[in-house]
Amino acid sequence: MSTPQQARALLAALRARQTAMVRLLEKFVRAESPTDLKPAVDRFGALVGAEWRRRGAAVKVLRQRHAGNHLRVVWHGHGASSERGQILVLGHLDTVYDAGTLRTMPFRVARGRAFGPGAFDMKGGLVIALFAAEALRDAGLRPSRPVVFLWNSDEETGSATSRAIIEREARRSAAVFVLEPAAGADGRLKTRRKGIGAAELLVTGRSAHAGQDPPQNGVNAIHELALQLARIAQFNDPRRGTTIAPTQITGGTRSNVIPAAARVVLDLRAERPADMRKLERQLKSLRPILRGAKIELRGGFSRPPLERTASAALFARARSAARLLGLAIGETSTGGGSDGNFTAALGVPTLDGLGAVGEDPLDGEPVIGEIARVVGHREEHGRRPLHGEEGLRLVEGQFDLGRHRERVHERDERGAASLA
């Protein structure tokens, strides 16, 4: 968009399509797509692919044997500009919600919000991409570079089958935009994300009857694990944003048996690659404390951080583009990771949080649903609001921490601090 007039015309065109957007969101949400159910993810992918084909884009299905298929959608600009690189837009087809969730969390719109599994993260983002491309096309504004939309099927479980594809596309790209939800009700973009990972500490002891004399005949794996956890807690470095948190623990068999095995899962987060390596070194330096105990460490960091150096220039451009629309955009850092972490780590400029706007779930409450709402964007200070200016905003409801404990994602981001 080059002039304020064009920008406002685009906004008006999108506003006029709001009902169609909500209708498409409903269609998307009703096609449940839990990561681990390939037929369902593939069905949803086919639906999304059809919407793009209908708008004239080239859609390629990247077939996967076990995981859901990924989609590569190409939307051509007007220039033969391959040497300058493409624009890459990342989004995911999968959600953390099990098949059948719709029965207890049906799609609905109430008080200007739409509810439903995956509405916020990130079917709302997929809808935004479709309508954004359509609005640009209708306005005769074609991008000067080809735009590749990559919709993967396994983001919620760590992008095991799509990471290499994402990285290959990123290396060909001048910029990467990620349609993960924005932060907060005011829709801040995510310009920094922590590197994340998970480690597992397995402790082996020796079982014995707890009443045996002397009880030292056994080696208590739970006791060893507790001592290790006290050490591990010291690896936290809040000043540098490094955190290590035990998130799952198991051990023992009976109330009167010294346990021979215990295990803990550790959530790992750090802001810089050097801090990731340091934490991994610290974990590897752990040695058994009780005589006869054995410990084994598995896992580690799986997503590098998205550092602000990767996002700063794009954010500045996004902010000035938003000003043309009379909108103020803020930025935020977050503890959660996304596929944007992979692309930023390759040195490709990456901007995240361009998807749905909403609110984070509250702590410790059961599932109530996902919500989309239509409300006005926050106006820039000192600017007159544009008449009737509205955007689609999506709000995610609470979810069951127990059921989704393996899945590290957006909802860990409540502690996000504003940089703006």
Could you list the beta-strand ranges (E) of 15-115: 58-62, 70-75, 86-92, 108-110, 113-115
How many Å apart are CA 349 and CA 308, to the nearest integer?
Answer: 10
Using alpha carbons, select from 222, 180, 221 the residue that is nearest to residue 334: 180
Cβ proximity to Zn ion: between 29 and 258 the closer is: 29
CB of 239 to Zn ion, least distance (A): 29
Interface region with Zn ion, contact rule CB under 5 A, candidates 118-126, 169-177, 205-213, 263-271: 118-126
The β-bridge relationship of strands 294-303 and 108-110 is unpaired
How many Å apart are CA 290 and CA 417, to the nearest integer?
Answer: 40
How is 332-382 classified by DSSP, letter by letter? Answer: EEES---THHHHHHTT--EEB--S-B--PPPTT-----EEEEEEPPPBPTT
| CB-neighbour burial class of residue 16 (10 A; exposed 0-12, middle 13-18, buried 19+) | exposed
Would you count residue 412 as binding Zn ion (CB under 5 A)? no
Site string for Zn ion, 51-90 (x = CB under 5 A): ----------------------------------------
Q: Chain centroid to CA 211: how far?
A: 50
CB of 92 to Zn ion, least distance (A): 6
CB of 335 to Zn ion, least distance (A): 14
CB of 16 to Zn ion, least distance (A): 28
How many Å apart are CA 17 and CA 21, to the nearest integer?
Answer: 6
CB of 339 to Zn ion, least distance (A): 9
Cβ proximity to Zn ion: between 251 and 353 the closer is: 353
How many Å apart are CA 142 and CA 144, to the nearest integer?
Answer: 6
Cβ proximity to Zn ion: between 42 and 180 the closer is: 180
Cβ proximity to Zn ion: between 180 and 271 the closer is: 180
CA distances from 172 to 145, 310, 324, 347 (A): 12, 16, 29, 12
Assigned token pair, 370: 């996902």
Site string for Zn ion, 301-330 (x = CB under 5 A): ------------------------------
Of the candidates 26, 51, 121, 331, which one interacts with Zn ion according to CB under 5 A? Answer: 121
CA distances from 333 to 156, 194, 323, 377 (A): 20, 8, 21, 20
Would you count residue 356 as binding Zn ion (CB under 5 A)? no
Using alpha carbons, select from 14, 67, 16, 19 the residue that is nearest to residue 45: 67
Cβ proximity to Zn ion: between 180 and 331 the closer is: 180
Q: Which residues pair with 198 in a beta bridge?
A: 267, 300
Site string for Zn ion, 139-158 (x = CB under 5 A): --------------------
Interface region with Zn ion, contact rule CB under 5 A, candidates 5-13, 93-101, 113-121, 270-278: 113-121
Using alpha carbons, select from 333, 322, 371, 338 the residue that is nearest to residue 89: 338
CB of 180 to Zn ion, least distance (A): 5
Please identify the residue of the shown chain whose CB is closest to the bound Zn ion: 121
Cβ proximity to Zn ion: between 121 and 331 the closer is: 121
Cβ proximity to Zn ion: between 134 and 180 the closer is: 180
CA distances from 166 to 124, 176, 416, 419 (A): 21, 10, 26, 28
Cβ proximity to Zn ion: between 265 and 354 the closer is: 354
Site string for Zn ion, 122-141 (x = CB under 5 A): x-------------------
Count interface residues toward Zn ion (CB under 5 A).
Answer: 3
CB of 47 to Zn ion, least distance (A): 18
CB of 118 to Zn ion, least distance (A): 9
Cβ proximity to Zn ion: between 41 and 203 the closer is: 41
Cβ proximity to Zn ion: between 148 and 394 the closer is: 394
CB of 282 to Zn ion, least distance (A): 30
Q: Where on the phi/psi map is residue 111: left (φ > 0), alpha (ψ -120 to 50), or beta?
A: left
What residues numbered 174-203 form the site for Zn ion, per CB under 5 A?
Answer: 180
Could you list the beta-strand ranges (E) of 279-321: 294-303
> Rule CB under 5 A: which residues touch Zn ion?
121-122, 180
